[in-house]
Every structure is written in C-alpha cells, then in structure tokens.
Amino acid sequence: MQELAKTHRVFIHAGSILEKIPGDDERIHNTTVAFDRDGKEVARYRKIHMFDITAPDGTAYRESAAFKPGDAIATYDCEGVTVGCAICYDLRFPYLFGALVDKGAQLIALPSAFTMQTGKDHWEVLCRARAIETETYFCAAAQTGAHTAGNETRHTYGHSLVADPWGHVVAKASDGVGVVSARVDPKRVAKARQMIPVAQHRVKLAE
C-alpha cells in the first residue's frame, strides 16, 4: 500500500490490516494505516471496539478472542482536509465520532466488513446517522461477498457508500464488487456546522 501511494502519487487509507503485536501477546490488532502521496505513513489506527455479538441466526462472533483493542483515536491531514479513522463495529459508538470531531475531523473513513444480517438493516442508516451527527463526509468502504472463517462460510453485506455532511448518500455501490467515488467540499462541512451548530450546543450532563 505504501509503494502504491508513492508510485501513483495518491493518498491511500488502507484498512483493515492484521497487525502483529510485539512481545508474547498472541492476539493481533485490526489496524488502519494511511499513507500520503510520498508513501509516508500519516496515521495508524487500531480498532477500539471488539465485535463480540450473537447474530440473529445464532452465529457467534468473538473478535476479542483473537484481537486486542486499540486505545487511542487517530486523525490525519489530507491536503487541508482532516480525516478521522474508524473501523467496522466502531460505527455503533457515536461518542468515538464526537471525539474525532473534537480533533478537527471533516471526513471520516470507515473500512468495514458488516455481516449480511446486520448490514441489510443497519449499515446505511448508521452511516448516515454518523454523518448527520458529526456533520462530516462519511466514507465507508465495505467488504462484499462470501469468505471462510474456520469451517464456516460467512457473508458480508458490502454496499460501500459516501454520505455528505447533511446525511445524503452521494455515492453508493450496488450488490457485488464495485468502485465508488465522490467529490469532497470542505465548504459544505462548514456550511452544515454553521446552520446547525451542534458542537456549540453540546451540554455536559451532571453525573
């Protein structure tokens, strides 16, 4: 990915990647790494929220058995646009995205592999909700199709999309493999935040 960024003179937000942990820990990190046009690493984010759930069909997912959660948020500058990092199941935790906005995020990138069952009901509505709440562009690349996990075949939902700061889906892949692109305008972020200044209206509640 680093070589591709350097060769083609593009930014690459690469994730999620399996990252070995130094030492005796047998677990790994689920990691996003971003590179600039020179191939320089500009961000490294390790997924914080572990996917430990039981799906509607009874399939159990225990990500924490193999993965160690990260403990820090990450942002980087992409030629004047601040990009916030998140991965997959993080999507369900609004406070994480609020923290990214506090760090200046104008665009959030979320590589993902949502299950078919949860994806068909929750994927788009959650992506749009996070875009609306944060008033950012929300770029969600999603794995699609079947893959093998141990002795079972699992299906991911796909439907990569980009939502704008007003929550409109401005680009979306249909079923199957596809390519999605959209134009990002920081002025639209500023305009949304001017019209509905939610960050200024945030109230700290008494405990």
In a domain? residue 100: yes
pLDDT-based confidence at 14, cuts 50/70/90? very high
Q: Are 43 and 74 in contact (CB under 8 A)?
A: yes
In a domain? residue 206: no
In a domain? residue 183: yes
CA-to-CA distance for 139 and 141, rounded, in angstroms? 6
Q: Which token pair is 26?
A: 């047998």
What are the φ/ψ torsions at residue 12 (nearest 5 degrees)? -130, 125
In a domain? residue 160: yes
The number of domains in the chain is 1
Q: Which token pair is 137?
A: 């562009």
What pLDDT shows up at residue 172? 97
Element holding 150 (H helix, E strand): none
In a domain? residue 18: yes
What pLDDT shows up at residue 56? 85
DSSP conformation class of 112? B
In a domain? residue 207: no
What pLDDT shows up at residue 13? 98
How many angstroms separate the most distant Cα atoms in the chain? 53
In a domain? residue 98: yes
Q: Which residues, in sequence order, are bridge partners of residue 44?
A: 33
Residues of the domain holding 37: 2-201
Confidence check: pLDDT of 149 > 80: no
CATH number for position 127: 3.60.110.10
- Cα separations in angstroms, 21 against 13, 14, 37, 114, 192: 21, 18, 27, 25, 40
Question: What is the mean pLDDT of the segment spanning 122-132?
Answer: 98
pLDDT-based confidence at 148, cuts 50/70/90? confident
Question: From the CA atom positions of the chain, what is the Rg in Å?
Answer: 17
* Whether this model's pTM surpasses 0.85: yes
What pLDDT shows up at residue 160? 97
Q: Are 33 and 17 in contact (CB under 8 A)?
A: yes
pLDDT-based confidence at 147, cuts 50/70/90? confident
pLDDT-based confidence at 50, cuts 50/70/90? very high
In a domain? residue 117: yes
* Coarse DSSP helix, strand, coil percentages of the chain, rounded to the nearest 5 percent: 30, 35, 40
pLDDT tens for each residue of 51-103: 999 988 888 889 999 999 999 999 999 999 999 999 999 999 999 999 999 99
Burial of residue 166 (number of CB atoms within 10 Å: 0-12, 13-18, 19+): middle
pLDDT-based confidence at 129, cuts 50/70/90? very high
